[in-house]
A and B are shown apart, each in its own frame.
Chain A
Amino acid sequence: MSFPSSPPIRTEYECVPPVVQQTDLPANHAGLGRLLHRLHWRWLNKLAILGLLALGWELLARWQNNDLLLPTFSATIVALALDLANGELAQRIGVSLLMLSQGYLLGTVGAFLLTSLAIGTRIGRDLLDTLTAMFNPLPAIALLPIALLWFGLGKASLLFVLVHAVLWPLALNTYAGFRGVPETLRMAGRQYGLAGLRYVWQILVPAALPAIIAGLKVAWAFSWRTLIAAELVFGTTSGKGGLGWYIFQNRNELYTDKVFAGLLAVIIFGLLVEHLLFGVLERLTIRRWGMQR
């Protein structure tokens, strides 16, 4: 029994395929061009989203017509530009940034030490497990009253809450990253005689970099919001307040447009850090290495 239409029997043949050079194809150049094109589109998309949000804000504020509650987008931009021009906002941002970078650095070093201890020893692991379970869910701001009692109104209190905001999420992510390093990679490292800190630096850290960068991002967001909130709560130290203090002070004086300008500055700074700092870091490392898409 055969199929109603059986396939025909064809003649066999052999041939020598033509020589094709990979370089003959314009694929490489077009690929790069296409990539740039796509990057452009992504940027355009993001700008369009921001533009629409701004437009919605402007329309809502005009319809509301109450400068005290909701200033227009354009008024906020004017306030932002004015205070940037006269240097007040720039100085506030500078104060906040200095504080943030110190707290962030301290927290990062702490997280690295804690996770190194945790992979080296069993007691370190239990310590990390317990501490992160206890403190990671604890909002940094909730520690502020204690910090004020212990360290007074000043830099030390802010550093305390900042380190708290950075340390736990970063340690948790880093440790998860370390534990996810493939077994064969670990064995390879140990065969070459790597041990201790050399093993951590040359095998674990680069292999866990996707998780570490994710942790750095979370820690950055936590620390930035903690700092702004802490500055709002206890404001200035020796007359030099940061961005949070700027927002708080202007609310007290009912300069709502400046309050919004301060918030906008917080948001813009966040966008810059995310896209420039972390974006570039990811492109230079984990995307280049094919560890992240």
Chain B
Amino acid sequence: MSATAFKLVEAHTEPSPLLQLNGVTLDYAHSGQRILATHEVDFSVYRGDRFVLLGPSGCGKSTLLRAVGGFHRPSAGNILLNGSQVRQPGPDRVAVFQEFDQLPPWKTAKENVMFPLLASKRAGKHEAAELAQHWLNKVGVDKFANSYPHMLSGGMKQRVAIARALAMQPEILLMDEPFAALDALTRRNMQELLQTLWEEVGFTMLFITHSIEEALVVGNRILLLSPHPGRVRAELNSHQFGMHSMGSSEFQAATQRIHGLLFGDAHEAAVSARRARS
């Protein structure tokens, strides 16, 4: 380590992380066997971060998100939110899932946004209704406030789910591949919406995806996980990329780099195996 690098750290008094995972090992039971989902994963999320967990299926990223949500207890290590241990689900960590059935079908879009506010007793009925209208406006579904979820398109449903989560003003927004079930055009729109919202509202989020492009566009910092079980492969910056940078040469290079980090070994092994056969 050079002296200048040391000085840099000295000069900035770093803020303390909002969310901290220390050596988190997660496993789950499957037909009588314990299966390891992640192995000793460490990372820290700071206020205002758009922190992305990226990895192929089987890297335990969804299980990690569930653990942060308080639905899954680590078998080793700990998860700290604002310095205190996460033990159970709570309204300070609201999730948006990929599945459309996260919205109760018996509530209109507006009632859906009001629901957590009322259930957690954050707001009275009148205030909740106003907040719901405000957030539905923000995500652009105010026209459909009185529609039931089955009358909405997939993109609209995800907009309502995002409005519902943001209305709660959680410490951290947990997003579990929220756009993965949408068509490519709608996904693009939603990524743009998320970026706009982040610039306007300034929330912190933990975002899960298996798309390298989405990770680069949506996130400012990316944690790469390798699969079976999930282990940290790298942590990269992506704050320099946005919707506008798609297709630029730096963006292509970053994509290539991540691809190499995730699949490089396997790819090289396959190539050398092919060479050996011929």
Contact = CB atoms under 8 A, between A and B. Distances in A.
A184 B101 contact: yes
Interface stretch (B20-28, B52-60, B74-82, B88-96): B88-96
Contacts of B71: 187, 190
A199 to B, nearest CB: 9
B102 A192 contact: no
B99 A192 contact: no
Nearest to A186: B71
A188 B151 contact: no
Interface string B116-137: 1001110000000000000000
B106 interface: yes
A205 to B, nearest CB: 10
Given A193-B90, A288-B148, A290-B148, A188 B106 contact: no
A5 B91 CA distance: 65
A187 B99 CA distance: 12
A158 interface: no
Given A184-B101, A202-B119, A206-B106, A192 B151 contact: no
Contact of A184 (B93, B102, B106): B102
Interface string B82-112: 0000000111011101010110111000000
A198 B118 CA distance: 12
A203 interface: yes
B230 interface: no
Contact of A191 (B95, B99, B104, B121): B95
B149 interface: yes
A285 B106 contact: yes
Contacts of A190: 71, 89
B101 A185 contact: yes
Contacts of A183: 99
A187 B101 contact: no
Contact of A188 (B90, B102, B121, B150): B102
A32 to B, nearest CB: 15
Interface residues of A, number: 23
B150 A187 contact: no
A185 B106 CA distance: 12
Contacts of A185: 101-102, 104
A201 to B, nearest CB: 11
Contacts of A291: 105-106, 150
A13 interface: no
Interface residues of B, number: 25
Contacts of B106: 206-207, 209, 285, 289, 291
Contacts of B102: 182, 184-185, 187-188
A153 interface: no
B115 interface: yes
B148 A191 contact: no
A203 B103 CA distance: 11
Contacts of A188: 95, 97, 102, 104, 116
Interface string A192-220: 11100010001100110100000000000
Interface in A156-204: 182-185, 187-194, 198, 202-203
B219 interface: no
B119 A207 contact: no
A207 B150 CA distance: 14
Contacts of A198: 119
Contacts of A191: 69, 89-91, 93-95, 116
Contacts of B101: 182, 184-185
Interface in A248-293: 285, 288-291
B119 A187 contact: no
A289 B94 CA distance: 24
A290 B95 contact: no
Contact of B105 (A187, A193, A194, A289): A289
Of the listed residues A189, A191, A288, the one surrounded by the most CB atoms of chain B closer than 10 A to its CB is: A191
A290 B91 contact: no
Contacts of A209: 106
Given A187-B69, A193-B120, A290-B149, A182 B89 contact: no
Nearest to A291: B105
Contacts of B115: 192
Contacts of A285: 106
The 4 closest A-B pairs by CB, nearest first: A290-B150, A192-B119, A184-B102, A182-B101
11 contacts: A182-B99, A184-B97, A184-B101, A187-B102, A193-B121, A194-B119, A198-B119, A285-B106, A289-B150, A290-B105, A291-B150
